[in-house]
Amino acid sequence: MKFTKMHGCGNDYVYFDCIKVDFPGGAQGEKQAAIKLSDRHFGIGGDGIILIKKGTKADFEMVMYNADGSRSQMCGNGVRCVGKLVYDAGYTKGHEFTVESMGAVKVLTVVEGERGDKVAKLSVDMGQPILAGAKIPVALKSDERVIQHPLVIGGVEYKATCVSMGNPHAVVFIDKKPADFPVCEVGPLFENDKFFPERTNTEFAYVEDRRTIWMRVWERGTGETLACGTGTCATVVAAILNGLVDAGEKITVHLLGGDLVIEWSGDENDSVFMTGPAETVFKGDVEI
């Protein structure tokens, strides 16, 4: 089956165009393929796989699997790559179109092109942040916001601000750039802590100034990735809630794989907007 390897800021997935050709084996086949193909030694290599299908609620649908075969609700870097693929393939001629994932619909806008009609950068309306604790979800029955909530992880107390961008995130602010932070040790402890009934993605972030953040991320079901679009949005939302950056401004977030620009008004009824690159690495055929 034909595939396209793509990445957004180093957050890489194997993409399958299933608009005209069905993926073999149904949901179980998709899960098994995600585990097999994501392996960086024995497969194609990636943070997971994403299937692109005709949408029912939107122009297109993305079906996303993590590297461990679990489904994921949304990936900000992944949805930008979906946008590039469908636009570059000529499935849409408009500079604005919609993509759904597990019922949630995102609006994509082509921002910048490259070499003719190819897309280099897109902006995504990532929707409203979910701030009510029980809806994120965390192990609280109330709808209170979870801001700087103390958690003892691996014998160390951290303070987490929790946000859902269609998937749960715990944002931890640290006092220096996260280059040397033990993400691969602490991340899985956060992911599987009982405070997070559906597991969690965890961002370790350092606020350099009112418009600049440095961040590393541990993604549930995958491990550390070079970037996470929903996590970057959640981090900026958390930084605004804690008064660390300015609402309504374009906040640049430096990730291991590149930069994303996030904007949010500070009003929970308003959408978070993310702008960043989408790149094709190579194409090929693989036996499923």
What would the pLDDT profile of 253-283 be if each residue is shown by its tens digit?
999 999 999 999 999 999 999 999 999 999 9
Exactly one of 9, 75, 81, 233 is catalytic; which is it? 75
Percentage of residues in the chain with pLDDT exceeding 70? 99
Answer whether residue 116 shows pLDDT above 90. Answer: no
Confidence of residue 112 (pLDDT cuts 50, 70, 90): confident
Active site residue 228: yes
Q: Token pair for residue 186? A: 């602490």
pLDDT at res. 118: 86
Active site residue 75: yes
Confidence of residue 115 (pLDDT cuts 50, 70, 90): low
Average pLDDT over residues 24-41: 97
73 touches 167 (CB < 8 A): yes
Q: Where are the beta strands (DSSP E) in 165-200?
A: 168-173
At a CB cut-off of 8 Å and minimum separation 6, what does 139 contact?
194, 195, 196, 197
Average pLDDT over residues 158-177: 97
**Cα–Cα distance measured from residue 84 to residue 78, given in angstroms and rounded to the nearest whole number:** 10
Confidence of residue 127 (pLDDT cuts 50, 70, 90): very high
Confidence of residue 132 (pLDDT cuts 50, 70, 90): very high
Answer whether residue 236 shows pLDDT above 70. Answer: yes
pLDDT at res. 193: 98
Exactly one of 9, 81, 162, 228 is catalytic; which is it? 228
Of 23, 116, 90, 85, give the one whose Cα is nearest residue 283: 85
Answer whether residue 62 shows pLDDT above 80. Answer: yes
- Give, for 82, the enclosing helix (H) or strand (E): helix 76-88
Confidence of residue 114 (pLDDT cuts 50, 70, 90): low
Looking at every residue in the chain, the average pLDDT score rounds to 96
